[in-house]
């Protein structure tokens, strides 16, 4: 995606108050100079999420996530940096080019504007007489007002050119409308449209297809039950979908992703259904992690978009027909290729022998508790899915050749699993399932092929009884419960408290503090990794600072310019978990003592502790080496002298003599 000018990014940052932006998602309470609330990235009962408005910084002491206003939007919306800028720009009313600049940018912007106009036009029809039948149908289907608004559902009027005429009146040219699949050109015919174009969507319930950040990319139109056909021998298609266009690529977009991405991030699972109505019905009943593949089998791009927001498991709600199951099995292959665990779910009929139910019917019959119960008790792993499909729709296991092909199909998919532990678990599960069908385990292992055998050459065959060796019925580990962290935290860095204090002091007290610390501490005295990288960056800022330029600026650290690990470390060092209230003096008559009331004394204390830690580490290394030499009968005089020197150095540090070293 093309870059947005730095000046524009700075304008958006300046217009986006972090407290206001976070407050859209988190209920914040003032605590001292900061604001505290429950973290939006993991479930917790006690607030550990801190927002520092002065430094444009948030940090969670629970899941260790932190950053600036852009990083917050990236995390909470599951988008990249430029999309976060776009969302905040839209919030602040700052105009941005749709893409880069020039004619291509203008073209894309115009196409998206036309789609946005159409979505508004269709939505507004629900308030007009032309939309009364659509409103009645929505009520009949049980769609709530909240869901209709959340998904932007609308109605295309029963007219040849209502949209075309309204759009042209609003200034959109026919070629633009045609380019995004809203109208088609015609020769003669009915209607008032002067350009000779007619609407593609007529007398239909309209479902806008949105990007993850809410841009309208296309539409799905469902026929209304009492739509006039015009003739007895013509039956209109149940669904009409937008074609592939310059801005809409079906294989990259998931219907409902905008509404579902937060729940998917939290639960690490995405429910995959077939239809728009299924998504809306499940969402409004509380199943918020649900999306649809927009009329196609799941693609690698779609799975990757889910993986970006932390999905670990895909659960395909299977249609009972062969086409639906085959589409799901294609999705299984894609999920395995992308390292995501695929599962399946079959929804039972309401009564034994009755018709199978779609997800929207099932959720309305059973409610959220019934859905959760059925999902947890009847989720199929992908081997069970494939076996069931093979038995239902083929007779492969009726002949030796068919059995061979069927086993090879299964073995190939197990061999493609990237995680070795999960692959072995699935392999064991497969051998047990097939053994129940009379297929010998040795045959299964032979079918897996050279690549798989190579991976598991060191592992013994499953020879004990199934009751002793069988893996759980669901071999791949499920996502954590909702009360666990919603997403994996950044890597935990082993860093000493005194290092955190020195980082904070240098970043907040500038040039004089950097001179005070780094003329007495070597960069190599800081822990290797992010702590040392942060100190090196502070030193580089200090050395680059000139007249009129700030010598030390924490903003680039918070923005992530030195990497996510350094950003997280700095965010933690700058954040205060339990800041005292500014009203403390008025309540108790004593001014509260802050953590940095005497910053240079605090820095000296932190340097003393860090240096003593390093000396102690050196003594322990020398003592270990002495033990090794003594056992080998080697001399240790030099090491004893080293320990004596280190003990003397420790005494000097304890007397703060390091403050005058080199003077």
Q: Is 310 left (phi over 0), alpha (psi -120 to 50) or beta?
A: left
Give the DSSP per-residue string, 48-82. Answer: -EEEETTTTEEEETTT--EE-HHHHHHHHHT--HH
Same domain for 586 and 437: no
Same-domain pairing of 67 and 129: no
* Residue 350 lies inside a defined structural domain of this protein: no
> Who's near 538: CB < 8 A, 6+ residues apart?
503, 506, 507, 514, 518, 552
281: pLDDT confidence band, cut at 50, 70 and 90?
very high
Residue 274 belongs to some domain of the structure: no
How far from chain centre, in Å, is Cα 273?
A: 19
Instruction: Specify the pLDDT at position 418.
Output: 81
Provide the token pair at 514.
Answer: 């950097």
DSSP secondary structure letters along 522-587: -GGGSPTTHHHHHHHHHHHHHHH--TTS-S--SHHHHHTTT-HHHHHHHHHHH--SSPPPTTHHHH
pLDDT at residue 176 in the model: 94
- 596, with CB counted inside 10 A (0-12, 13-18, 19+), is middle
pLDDT score of 456: 55
* Residue 148 belongs to domain with CATH number: 3.90.980.10
β-bridge mates for residue 30, sequence order: 35
Please name which of 226, 225, 248 lies closest in space to residue 295, comparing C-alpha atoms.
248
Residues 514 and 649 in one domain: yes
Grouping H, G, I as helix, E, B as strand and the rest as coil, residue 273 is strand
Beta-strand pair 204-210/216-223: antiparallel
State the Cα–Cα distance between residues 135 and 633, nearest whole angstrom.
Answer: 92
Q: pLDDT tens for residues 353-368?
A: 777 788 999 999 999 9
Is 487's pLDDT higher than 70? no
The SS3 assignment for 646 reads: helix
What is the distance between the alpha carbons of residues 169 and 161, in angstroms, rounded to a whole number? 12
Q: Out of 95-109, 213-227, 257-271, 406-420, which region has the weakest mean confidence (pLDDT)?
A: 95-109
pLDDT of residue 472: 37
Residue 592: band (very low, low, confident or very high) from pLDDT cuts 50, 70, 90: very low
CATH number for the domain spanning 623: value is 1.10.860
Specify the number of domains making up the chain: 4
Q: Does 366 map to a domain?
A: no
Q: In what order do the strands lie in the sheet with 154-156?
A: 154-156, 204-210, 216-223, 239-241
> Is residue 371, in this structure, part of any structural domain at all?
no
Element (H, E) at 347: none
Last residue of a domain, one of 50, 71, 92: 92
Q: Inter-axis angle of helices 497-518 and 599-631, to 10 degrees?
A: 110
Confidence of residue 398 (pLDDT cuts 50, 70, 90): confident
- What lies within 8 Å, CB to CB, of 535 at 6+ separation is 502, 503, 506, 518, 523, 526
Question: By C-alpha distance, which of 312, 329, 218, 324 is closest to 270?
Answer: 312
Q: Are residues 514 and 464 in the same domain?
A: no
Spell out the residues 6+ positions from residue 341 whose beta carbon is closer than 8 angstroms to its own.
Answer: 312, 313, 314, 335, 382, 422, 476
Q: What is the DSSP string of 316-349?
A: EEE-SSHHHHHHHHHHHHHHHHTT-EEEEEEPPP
Closest CA to 30 of 646, 580, 597: 580
Q: Is residue 661 part of a domain?
A: no
Residue 355, CB half-sphere, CA atoms under 13 Å: how many? 4
Residue at a domain's end among 469, 489, 516:
469
Task: Say if residue 419 is in the same domain as residue 459.
Answer: yes
Cβ–Cβ < 8 Å for 535, 500: no
DSSP 3-state assignment of 270?
strand
Q: Are residues 113 and 87 in the same domain?
A: no
pLDDT at residue number 607:
92
Q: Tell me the CATH number at 19.
A: 3.90.580.10
The reported pLDDT for the residue numbered 482 is 39
pLDDT at 400 over 50: yes
Stretch (H or E) spanning 493: none
Distance of alpha carbon 84 from alpha carbon 72, whole angstroms: 9
Residue 510 contacts residue 541 (beta carbons within 8 Å): no
Structure-token match 């003397």, residue found: 648
pLDDT attached to residue 195: 56
How crowded is residue 304: how many other Cβ atoms within 10 Å of its Cβ?
A: 14
Q: In this structure, is residue 277 part of a structural domain?
A: no
86 belongs to a structural domain: yes
In a domain? residue 488: no
Mean pLDDT is highest, among 129-143, 395-409, 536-550, for: 129-143
Reduced to 3 states (helix: H, G, I; strand: E, B; else coil), residue 297 is coil
> Token pair for residue 581?
């209230």
562 with 462, same domain? no
- Looking at the fold, whether 87 and 110 belong to one and the same domain comes out as no
pLDDT one-digit tens code per residue, 462-475? 433 333 333 333 33
Whether residue 121 is found in the same domain as residue 204: yes
Question: Which position has the token pair 């069908």?
Answer: 437
The CA distance from 267 to 330, in Å, is: 24
- The 3 state secondary structure assigned to 118-173 is HHHHHHHHCCCHHHHHHHHHHHHHCCCHHHHHHHCCEEECCCCCHHHHHHHHCCCC
Q: Are the C-beta atoms of 409 and 445 separated by less than 8 Å?
A: no
- Please give, one letter per residue, the 3-state secondary structure of 421-443: HHHHHHHHHHHHHHHHCCCCHHH
What integer is the mean pLDDT of 482-494?
A: 47
Q: How does pLDDT run across 301-351, given as a tens digit for each residue?
A: 999 989 887 889 999 998 767 777 788 889 999 999 999 999 999 888 888
pLDDT at position 141 over 60: yes
pLDDT at 534: 93
Residue with tokens 């002091």: 505
Sign of the CA dihedral with 463 first, then 464, 466, and 468 last: negative
Mean pLDDT of 67-94: 86
Last residue of a domain, one of 424, 452, 469: 469
CB 278 within 8 A of CB 360: yes
- Residue 636: give the domain boundaries: 497-654
Running DSSP on this structure, what letter comes out for residue 306?
H
Q: Is residue 31 helix, strand or coil?
A: strand
Banded pLDDT at 121 (limits 50, 70, 90):
very high
Enclosing H/E stretch for 36: strand 34-37
The answer on 522 and 422 residing in a single domain is no
Query: What distance in Å separates the CA atoms of residue 163 and residue 282, rounded to the nearest whole number?
Result: 30
554 and 626 co-located in one domain:
yes
Cα 513 to Cα 519: distance, rounded to the nearest angstrom = 10
Average pLDDT over residues 535-550: 76
Is residue 132 domain-shared with residue 52, that is, in the same domain?
A: no
Confidence of residue 510 (pLDDT cuts 50, 70, 90): confident
- DSSP states of 167-229: HHHTT--HHHHHHTTSEEE-SS-SSS-TTSEEES--SEEEEEEE-TT--EEEEEEEEPTT---
Torsional sign, CA 514, 520, 524, 526:
negative
Of the pLDDT bands very low, low, confident and very high (cuts 50, 70, 90), residue 266 is confident
pLDDT for 485 beyond 70: no
Task: Give the other-Cβ count within 10 Å of 234's Cβ.
Answer: 7
């Amino acid at each position: 995606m093309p870059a947005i000018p730095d000046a524009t990014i700075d304008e958006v940052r300046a217009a986006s108050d972090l407290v206001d932006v976070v407050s859209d998602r988190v209920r914040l309470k003032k605590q001292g100079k900061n604001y505290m609330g429950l973290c939006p990235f993991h479930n917790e009962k006690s607030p550990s999420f801190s927002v520092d408005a002065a430094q444009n910084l948030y940090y969670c002491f629970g899941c260790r996530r932190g950053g600036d206003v852009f990083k917050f939007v990236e995390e909470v919306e599951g988008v990249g940096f430029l999309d976060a800028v776009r969302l905040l720009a839209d919030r602040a009313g700052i105009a941005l080019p749709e893409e880069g600049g020039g004619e291509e940018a203008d073209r894309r912007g115009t196409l998206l504007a036309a789609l946005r106009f159409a979505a508004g036009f269709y939505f507004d029809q629900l308030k007009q007489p032309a939309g009364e039948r659509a409103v009645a149908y929505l009520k009949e289907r049980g769609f709530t007002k909240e869901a209709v608004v959340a998904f932007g559902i609308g109605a295309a009027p029963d007219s040849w050119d209502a949209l075309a005429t309204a759009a042209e009146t609003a200034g959109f040219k026919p070629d633009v409308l045609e380019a995004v699949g809203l109208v088609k050109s015609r020769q003669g015919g009915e209607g008032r449209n002067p350009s000779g174009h007619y609407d593609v969507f007529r007398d239909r319930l309209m479902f806008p297809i949105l990007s993850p950040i809410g841009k309208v990319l296309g539409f799905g139109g469902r026929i209304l039950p009492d739509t006039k056909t015009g003739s007895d021998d013509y039956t209109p298609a149940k669904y009409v979908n937008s074609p592939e266009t310059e801005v809409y690529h079906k294989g990259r977009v998931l219907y409902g992703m905008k509404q579902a991405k937060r729940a998917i991030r939290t639960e690490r699972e995405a429910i995959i259904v077939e239809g728009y109505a299924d998504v809306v019905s499940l969402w409004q009943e509380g199943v918020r992690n649900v999306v649809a593949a927009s009329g196609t089998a799941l693609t690698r791009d779609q799975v990757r978009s889910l993986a970006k927001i932390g999905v670990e498991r895909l659960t395909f709600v299977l249609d009972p027909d062969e086409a639906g199951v085959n589409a799901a099995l294609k999705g299984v292959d894609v999920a395995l290729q992308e390292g995501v665990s695929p599962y399946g779910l079959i929804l039972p009929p309401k009564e034994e022998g009755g018709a199978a139910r779609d997800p929207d019917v099932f959720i309305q019959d059973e409610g959220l508790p019934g859905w959760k119960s059925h999902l947890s008790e009847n989720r199929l792993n992908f081997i069970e899915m494939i076996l069931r499909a093979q038995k239902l729709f083929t007779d492969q296991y009726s002949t030796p050749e068919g059995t061979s092909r069927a086993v090879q199909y299964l073995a190939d998919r197990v061999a493609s699993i990237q995680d070795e532990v999960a692959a072995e678990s699935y392999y064991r599960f497969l051998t047990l399932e097939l053994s129940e069908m009379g297929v010998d385990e040795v045959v299964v292992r032979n079918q897996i092929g050279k690549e798989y055998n190579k991976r598991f050459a060191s592992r013994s065959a499953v020879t004990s009884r199934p009751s002793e060796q069988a893996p759980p019925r669901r071999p791949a580990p499920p996502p954590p419960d909702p009360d666990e962290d919603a997403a994996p935290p950044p890597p935990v860095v082993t860093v000493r408290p005194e290092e955190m204090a020195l980082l904070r002091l240098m970043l907040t007290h500038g040039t004089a503090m950097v001179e005070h610390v780094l003329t007495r501490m070597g960069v190599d005295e800081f822990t290797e990794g992010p702590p040392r990288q942060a100190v090196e960056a502070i030193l580089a800022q200090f050395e680059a600072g000139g007249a009129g330029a700030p010598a030390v600026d924490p903003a680039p650290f918070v923005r992530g310019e030195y990497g996510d690990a350094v950003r997280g470390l700095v965010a933690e060092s700058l954040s205060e978990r339990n800041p005292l209230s500014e009203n403390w003096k008025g309540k108790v008559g004593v001014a509260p003592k802050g953590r940095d009331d005497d910053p240079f004394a605090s820095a000296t204390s932190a340097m003393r502790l860090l240096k003593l830690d390093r000396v102690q580490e050196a003594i322990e290394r020398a003592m270990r080496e002495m033990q090794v030499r003594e056992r080998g009968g080697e001399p240790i005089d030099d090491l004893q002298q080293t320990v004596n020197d280190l003990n003397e150095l420790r005494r000097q540090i304890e007397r703060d003599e390091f403050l005058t070293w080199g003077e």
